[in-house]
Amino acid sequence: MFQWLNKQGVEKVGEFFVQRADRFHYEYGEGGKSIKIVTEQGSGLDDIFVSDAVGPLDQPEGKRISENVAEALKFMGIRFRIR
């Protein structure tokens, strides 16, 4: 279950959070650690570069984090694609 932290961030209670950090980054955090995720905006769709922060998306850690980020962004109503 998600809850809003503020107008630009959500938390899946007890698991992780995703927060817009600035125009080109989101912050993803879990277990007391956080990473910055790069974004590029274009024609109403954000390209989210999770792999830049966590490594290849076909590895367990990258896949899990990219799925968490996607779930949070969908909840926030943000149009995106993960790269």
Cα 7 to Cα 60: distance, rounded to the nearest angstrom: 30
pLDDT at 78: 87
User: Is it the case that residue 16 has pLDDT exceeding 90?
Assistant: yes
pLDDT at 79: 84
Residue ranges of the domains in the chain? 2-82
Q: Which residues of 70-83 are buried (b: 16+ CB within 10 A; e: fewer)?
A: bbbbeebebebebe
76 falls in which pLDDT band (50, 70, 90)?
A: very high
The rounded percent of the chain whose pLDDT value lies above 70 is 98
Instruction: Report pLDDT digits (tens) over 24-59.
Output: 899 999 999 999 999 887 766 778 888 888 888 888
